[in-house]
Structure 1
Amino acid sequence: MTTQQLVQEIHKKKSFLCIGLDVDLTKVPKHILEFEDPIFEFNKSIIDATIDLCVAYKPNTAFYEAYGLKGWQSLQKTIQYLNEKHPEIFTIADAKRGDIGNTSTMYARAFFEDLNFDSVTVAPFMGKDSVEPFLEFENKHAIMLALTSNDGAFDFQTKNADGKELYKVVLETSKNWKNAQKLMYVVGATKAEYFTGIREIVPDSFLLVPGVGAQGGSLQEVCKYGMNDNIGLLINSSRGILYASAGNDFAEKARVEALKIQQEMEMILSK
């Protein structure tokens, strides 16, 4: 999917919501566990209930890898369902990969060719040869960690390097990499005060923003400082939507929570 297609979908749905499909079988309704593939059944129910309210889904691969081969098969079935039934949806493999060049190439092939995701999250610590292989695929995107929403982000990301905070060095350096126009960046909503400076460095890039909702980030603040002329934001919500109910009505309650966010987004877009 191109960024232009993503922007069109945002305007069509009046939403820039991304729903994280982070399935924890200890939290799903008990009746879901009776299915042969409870992870896929849970995902399918969430997707069917929220598809008109969001523009992206983001399975975090750890929540599938934890269940071994069966979990990976559930991930395959989920992305296949999205690609076949809803090709207009932007899909994100939240895998946070990053290794030497030939290894990154194999990671990229796994997510872009085998699973056919539109994007994958990557870690920049090993530099350009660990990220550029993800940027070689047509109409695919790498979403690079820049300033994350966890408490440990302050251990390294905001420390000074060459007179600048490290996350700024990461952003500025990545702009010079081959096919850098395909880069998007992860910026946590809990760091809303940093968005103005980030937009000075990457004014046109899409930002994937976790941390709204369960982690306390403010949608209004993120949009105030982080939105650009093409919207440029994908706001992720996972737990607050997925586990709104532990009962048989879990999908309906997930829709209610997703609708609240979408309606707030629609108001922001109408201004």
Structure 2
Amino acid sequence: MSHFIQTLNDAWQRTNSLLCVGLDPEPSKFPGALAGRPEAIFDFCRTIVDAAAPYASSFKPQIAYFAAHRAEDQLEQLIAHIHANHPGLPVILDAKRGDIGSTAEQYAREAFERYQADAVTVNPYMGFDSIQPYLEHEGKGVIVLCRTSNAGGSDLQFLETGGRPLYQVVAQLAADKWNASGQLGLVVGATFPKEIEVVRGIVGDMPLLIPGIGAQGGDVQATVNAGRTANGTGMLINSSRAIIYAGKDDDFAEAAAKAAMETRDRINTFR
């Protein structure tokens, strides 16, 4: 049994990369050569994965982009392809699930048994009993929303509770009480580097999934300075649209590879 945290640490060291490539396939943005193909979503994502894999340490497919197009079977194929052809690069299923325990059990089975993801993102709004079913899957990672990259996240995440913002309470709970499996991580957006630094101070070396450096405009240098651990790792710095849609024509794979390489190198500049 491979454990998410160990696989992730190994990937960071082996690839010399903190880049997580997000896979948000939207058929209307695909190059013309893929138009009309019954498995266009799989074909597009597989091509992106194979092009970007030399520069990435993980991949993050967003489940909604597959489910909206009735392409869940293509998501299964894609994750199987990553595991078979790029072993050691963990796959985080971006699902942001959050429901009562009995329903969470089914969502956990979906993520880890159906899709064979290495980790899944979850929403902590309903408390620990909605997270616990995911932790019961040995070796699987659970990445909890903490300080998200969207502007509206402040509506709740900055509410004062016990004298500090709610996102800090979530970080403290994750570090002190919720990490029963030792496989927990947190989502903290690159658009809020000061909060990344605060969360890092609370959770120690716990991995942080950090979206927002690409199309959302997060600052790479500020992100790395705020979130890196003592050994220069600790972060899955995600870029999705800026990589997968770097090219619009039939050379989209080459464009994605170039964008991934440049993003990895920029991140490494500040490590």
Shorter chain as denominator, the TM-score bin is over 0.9
Partner of 1:66 in structure 2? 68
Instruction: Give the CA deviation at 1:178.
Output: 5.5
Cα pair 1:104 1:131 within 8 Å, conserved: yes
Counterpart secondary structure, 2:191: helix
The amino acid of 2:12's aligned partner reads I
The unaligned stretches of length 5 or more in structure 2 are none
Q: 1:7, 1:218 → 2: CA distance?
A: 24
Aligned counterpart, 2:213 = 212
Which residue is equivalent to 2:267? 265
| Match in the other structure for 1:49 | 51
Name the residue aligned to 1:201: 202
Aligned counterpart, 2:99: 99
Shift of 1:217: 0.5
Distance in structure 2 (CA, Å) of the matches to 1:31 and 1:104: 39
Runs of 5+ consecutive residues of structure 1 not aligned to the other structure: none
Show the counterpart of 1:127: 127
Residues 18 and 57 in structure 2, CA contact (< 8 A), matched pair in contact too:
yes
Distance 1:200 1:36 in 2: 48
SS at match of 1:245: coil
Listed as ranges, the matches of 1:172-191 within 5 Å are 172-174=172-174, 175-177=176-178, 179=180, 181-191=182-192
Residue-pair matches, total:
267
Report the counterpart of residue 86 of structure 1 in structure 2: 86
Tell me the distance in 2 between the aligned counterparts of 1:235 and 1:81: 22
**CA distance in structure 1 between the aligned counterparts of 2:128 and 2:253, rounded to whole angstroms:** 41
Task: Give yes or no for contact 1:15–1:55 (8 Å, CA) kept in 2.
Answer: yes
Mapped to 1, the partners of 2:261 and 2:196 lie a distance apart of: 25
- CA drift at 1:196: 2.0
Give 1:229 shift.
2.6
State the 1:180 CA deviation: 5.3
Query: Following the alignment from structure 2 to structure 1, what is the Cα–Cα distance between the partners of residues 137 and 250?
Result: 41
**Conservation of the 8 A alpha-carbon contact between 1:136 and 1:179:** no
Q: How far does the alpha carbon of each residue in 1:209-249 deviate from its partner, in whole angstroms, 9 at most, with x for none?
A: 00002111011111111111351100000000011111001
- 1:18 to 2:20 alignment: yes
| Residue deviations 1:52-108 (CA, integer Å, cap 9, x gap) | 11011111001011012xx11111110111122222111010000011111111111
The question of whether the paired residues in 1 share the 8 Å contact of 2:7 and 2:89 is answered with: no
Q: Normalising to structure 2: TM-score of the pair?
A: 0.95
Q: Which residue of 1 aligns with 2:145?
A: 145
Q: Deviations for 1:95-139, whole angstroms, at most 9, x for unmatched residues? A: 000111111111111111121100000000000000011111111
Q: Which stretch has the larger CA shift, 243-252 or 191-200?
A: 191-200
**C-alpha distance in 2 between matches for 1:266 and 1:14:** 8
* Alpha-carbon distance, 1:173 to partner: 2.0
Whether the aligned pair in 2 keeps the contact of 1:14 and 1:265 (CA below 8 Å) is no
State the SS of the aligned residue for 1:176: helix
Distance in 1, Cα, partners of 2:251 & 2:123: 37
Which residue is 1:32 aligned to?
A: 34
In 2: Cα distance, 1:139 partner to 1:18 partner: 20
